[in-house]
Amino acid sequence: MIKRNGSLPVDVVTNRFGGNGEVKFTRILEKDDFQGKGRLFAVTAIEPGCSLGLHTHTGEMEAYYILRGQGTVNDNGAESLVGPGDVVLTKDGESHAIANTGDTTLELVALILFT
């Protein structure tokens, strides 16, 4: 199967998990593509001043790979700056949030797998 550039579905969510503004998800894989092993594989774009609010993963884990931009991650209550090449891993039962604290689009790959 080949999925062509420009044909991937895009979701725009507002105030996700109590965050600020809009976040765009370009879905690389759909639910059926995971064969029961996960639920999200997407390129996520967060504009300056926007964020995904603090949330907990239960029965799943999530990894972010930062492609471009700068942000602040809340990793179980500890805040850290992140940038290109950084990986954020949130294991089952842990919480995280991410905010674009830079002046350009924060872009990352997000992967959620069931545990």
Task: Name the residue ranges covered by the structural domains of the chain.
Answer: 10-114
Q: What is the largest CA-CA distance in the chain?
A: 40
Mean pLDDT of the chain: 97
Q: Is the pTM of this model over 0.85?
A: yes
CA angle 71, 72, 73 (to 5 degrees): 120
What are the tens digits of pLDDT across the range 63-82? 999 999 999 999 999 999 99
CATH for 10-114 is 2.60.120.10
Using an 8 Å Cβ cutoff, are 27 and 75 in contact? no
